[in-house]
Structures are given as structure tokens and as C-alpha cells.
Amino acid sequence: MKALRMSDELFRKRASEEDGCMVSAIGLKPLFGNREGTSGHRGELAREPVRLAFSTLISYRRRALRLTMETLAEKANVELDELLRIEDDAEYVPEPRTVHQLASELKLPIPQLLVLSGNATSANAELTDAAVRFAARSRAVEKLNRDQSDALNEFVKVLVEQMVGVKKK
Amino acid sequence: MSSRRKCSLKAPNSDVLVEAQLIDELSKDDLVRAHLEWAPVRLEALKRLYEEKRGWPEHWHWDWSKKADMLDFLAFRCMGIEHEGRMQGLMMLSTVAGKSRLAGQIGKAVLYIEFLETAPWNVRDLVGTPKFLGVGVRLLEAAAEFSVDEGFGGRIALHSLPQSDDFYRKYMTDLGLDSSQSQGLRYFEMSAEQMRIFLEGRKP
């Protein structure tokens, strides 16, 4: 970590200011994981991360293919504004047509992408689990680091394996 | 990979600084061990507060061992300050970027503190004389560093328990009761500028 630390003199002052205080903080909107005093249904917990996984997947896949937002928007014939919302707004549900075009440009399976984007439902627990894990692992930092690349690769692998499974059926 | 660095804590009745260590990535076992050390001290304090007809701290029931599973996800990281093998404070961070609600910074990435607590023996209301002072300050300092390192620009956010509002108000902006939740908690943010003031003690 970079050295962003206060001087000893300032720390003494701050530490004295802390004396008598009860220092605590509590998170309110966990995306994932266990929370004391809460008991949500798995499906309810999963919905937001699944949609988050879609945003992240589009963003990472685009970056992995070294496409700018403008380039992808142009190639997929999607409005740049819409692509921005897809990557940035986890509550936005894009039109199925948009999902089709992005899937084909990014070489991702369409049925799974429709589920992740909120356009279709699926009782496929494996896909949900993979999406939740991907979302949980991946939205850490702006840079696509090794962990994120691994997460992307693992998730794409699950999507592709599912596609193969569907075709076999 | 977890790393340690020196960080000092303050003795309660003097200006003496005591060397401790900041651990930037704790394991699940670390959290369980911290809980096992903290729980008996907290229990004794609660008994005393009950006998003295005084109120209990709002986080009296916290159990860090139950938060350990959050560490299965890269989206969470727990830091701690250790002195002679005993955990003096813990902080769980969400590395999923939150969005700033501060005027002029709305939408910018912000580091969200999921949980923060100092060991019960460092809280005057629980033990009379705290063992160390400044654990909360050191954890906020570590959060500020992490926020910068991870590209959040030094911005930090958290929801405070009411008992801690006054502490956070010293260094962060109180954005009031959070209307998006019903627990009656206030939402605080530290801007990049406030972070520098917090660390440097003056306006840059």
C-alpha cells in the first residue's frame, strides 16, 4: 500500500478524540454472504448479483477483446447510451434485441445472456451460482487484474459448457 | 496475500505510542480467534453494565466468526490491528464499488466499510480504562489507503450505529438518515478532500 499515514503527533490527537467513543459501523445492503439477523431466500438474494454479473460480464468481455465502448456500440449496432447503462446500471434491463446483438459480437451464448440480463428466467441453479460468484469476485477495481481475468474466464467457461449441454439435449 | 506493517496505538493515559501491526488481509480463522478472545470480555462488560443499570452497546451481539464466510468472496476483505497476538480492532471492507452520494461527487466510486469494531477492552464504556486508544482511527486510515490503492480516490462510506455517529461526524460528512433502509442508521461519507484533512490534519 502507498504510505498514506498520519504523523505521530496527529495520531495522538486523533486517538484522544476517539477516547470515549464507541466505534462501530454496520453494512446494510450486502450483495452476498451471511448477515447476522437476516434470513433471505436464496432466489431473492441472487437476483441482484445475477444482473450485476451481466453488467460485469459485458464490460470485462469487451475489455478482454480490447474493444472500446464506442467500438462495441458501433459493431453491435447498439446505442452508446444504452451500452453505458448496461455496464453501469445494474437495474437496467436491456431489450432482447440488444442482448442478441451484444451476445453475437462478444461471442457469448444468447440464452444464458437473456437470463442474466433479466429478459428470461431460469431455474438453472448452476448458472445462478456461477453468476453470483462471478459478480462477487469481479467488481472490485477498475483495472482488469489477474483475479478478474480468472473470474471472467471461469464464468465464460460455465456459460459455454451450459450452451454445449443445451445443444446436446 | 496477507501482509503486515507496523502501526502504532496510543496508551490511554500518556502520549506513549505502542507498536502494533496492521494486517491487511485476515483469514477466516483470524476472525474466529478474534471472536473467541473478544466474547468473554464483552460478556463480562455486559454483566457489569446490566448490574449498573446502564445501557448496552448497540453492537453487543456481534459475532465476527459469523462474518467469516464473507471472506469466501473476493468482494470482501477484512483487515485487523494486532498487538502481541491479540486483535485490537477489525474492519470488513466491501471491494464492490459503491457510488458516492456527496454533492459534487455523485456516482463516483466509493469504498464501503461493511463492519468496523474495536476490541471490547479498547472501549472506555465497557472496561473503564481502555488498553489502547486510536484503533478506530488506524482502521479508518487503513481504509483510506486501501481506497486510494484500489482506485476509489480515497472516498469511504459507511452506515454508523447511532452510538458512533459523533465519532464519524468528526471526519466525514453526515448525509443523514438513510431513506433507503428502515434501520434508522445514518450514512456517512469521507470525500477525497476530507481524507487528506483526516490524514494531514489541515486543508491541503
Kindly state whether residues A134 and A63 are assigned to the same domain. Answer: yes
The range of the structural domain enclosing residue B125 comes to: 4-200
Which pLDDT value is given to residue A31? 41
Mutation target to probe the A interface, by most A beta carbons within 10 A, among B137, B148, B194 is B137
The predicted model scores a pTM of 0.66
Of the CA atoms within 13 Å of residue B36, those in its CB half-sphere come to 8
How far does Cα B137 stand from its chain's mean position? 8
More confident site: A149 or B107:
B107
In this prediction, residues B145-162 reach a mean pLDDT of: 90
Which amino acid belongs to residue B32? Answer: V
Kindly state whether residues A97 and A110 are assigned to the same domain. Answer: yes
Kindly state whether residues A125 and A148 are assigned to the same domain. Answer: yes
A139 is a domain residue:
yes
- Give residue for cell 452506515: B159
- The DSSP secondary structure of A27-53, one letter per residue, reads -S--SSS--TT----HHHHHHHHHHHH
- Residue pLDDT, tens place only, B178-192: 876 656 789 999 999
Kindly state whether residues A125 and A58 are assigned to the same domain. Answer: yes
Residue B66, pLDDT > 70, answer yes
**Of the partner residues A11, A32, A36, the one whose CB lies closest to the CB of residue B10:** A11
Can you give the CATH number for the domain in which B168 is found?
Answer: 3.40.630.30
| Contacts B2 to A, Cβ<8 Å | none
- Which span out of B53-57, B71-75, B193-197 was modeled with the highest average pLDDT? B193-197
Domain count for chain B: 1
Q: Which of B158, B138, B144 is nearest to B98 (CA)?
A: B158
CA distance A167 to chain B (A): 32
| Contacts A21 to B, Cβ<8 Å | 136, 164, 166-167
More confident site: A109 or B19:
B19
In this prediction, residues B78-95 reach a mean pLDDT of: 94
| Contacts A150 to B, Cβ<8 Å | none
**Of the partner residues A18, A139, A140, the one whose CB lies closest to the CB of residue B133:** A18
CA–CA separation, B39 and B43 (whole Å):
6
Kindly state whether residues A34 and A64 are assigned to the same domain. Answer: no
**Of the partner residues A29, A141, A147, the one whose CB lies closest to the CB of residue B151:** A141
A31 is a domain residue:
yes
Which pLDDT value is given to residue B14? 92
Q: Are A15 and B100 in contact (CB under 8 A)?
A: no
- Put simply, the answer to whether B76 touches A7 (Cβ < 8 Å) is no
Residue A146 near chain B (CB below 8 Å) = no
The range of the structural domain enclosing residue A146 comes to: 47-168
More confident site: A130 or B148:
B148
CA–CA separation, A69 and A38 (whole Å):
39
Which pLDDT value is given to residue A138? 58
User: What's chain A's average pLDDT?
Assistant: 74
Grid coordinates belonging to A15: 486517538
Which pLDDT value is given to residue B137? 96
A100 is a domain residue:
yes
Kindly state whether residues A112 and A71 are assigned to the same domain. Answer: yes
Kindly state whether residues A26 and A94 are assigned to the same domain. Answer: no
**Separation in Å, CA A124 to CA A54, A102, A109, B197:** 16, 22, 15, 50
CA distance A42 to chain B (A): 15
Nearest residue of A to residue B124, measured between CA atoms: A20
A3 is a domain residue:
no
Kindly state whether residues A89 and A135 are assigned to the same domain. Answer: yes
Kindly state whether residues A162 and A91 are assigned to the same domain. Answer: yes
Kindly state whether residues A35 and A99 are assigned to the same domain. Answer: no
| Poorest-pLDDT segment among A69-83, B16-30, B128-142, B185-199 | A69-83
Grid coordinates belonging to B93: 471492507
Grid coordinates belonging to B168: 464519524
- Put simply, the answer to whether A24 touches B148 (Cβ < 8 Å) is no
| Contacts A18 to B, Cβ<8 Å | 133-137, 167
Q: Are B59 and A24 in contact (CB under 8 A)?
A: yes
More confident site: B82 or A140:
B82
Residue B15 near chain A (CB below 8 Å) = yes
Which pLDDT value is given to residue A59? 83
B 80-119 near A (Cβ less than 8 A): 89, 92, 94-97, 109, 112-118
A34 is a domain residue:
yes
A70 is a domain residue:
yes
Domain count for chain A: 2
Q: Are B200 and A6 in contact (CB under 8 A)?
A: yes
CA distance A168 to chain B (A): 33
Residue A140, pLDDT > 70, answer no
Residue B144 near chain A (CB below 8 Å) = yes
**pLDDT over 70, % of chain B:** 97
Can you give the CATH number for the domain in which A57 is found?
Answer: 1.10.260.40
- Residue pLDDT, tens place only, A52-68: 788 888 888 888 888 88
| Contacts B130 to A, Cβ<8 Å | 19
In terms of Cβ atoms closer than 10 Å to its own Cβ (0-12, 13-18, 19+), residue A91 is exposed
- Residue pLDDT, tens place only, B102-150: 988 888 888 999 999 999 999 998 898 999 999 999 999 999 999 998 8
3-class SS letters over chain B: CCCEEEEEEECCCCCCEEEEEEECCCCHHHHHHHHHHHHHHHHHHHHHHHHCCCCCCCCCCCCHHHHHHHHHCCCEEEEEEEECCEEEEEEEEEEEEEECCCCCCCCCEEEEEEEEEECHHHCHHHHCCCCCECHHHHHHHHHHHHHHHCCCCCCEEEEECHHHHHHHHCCCEEEEECCCCCCCCEEEEECHHHHHHHHHCCCC
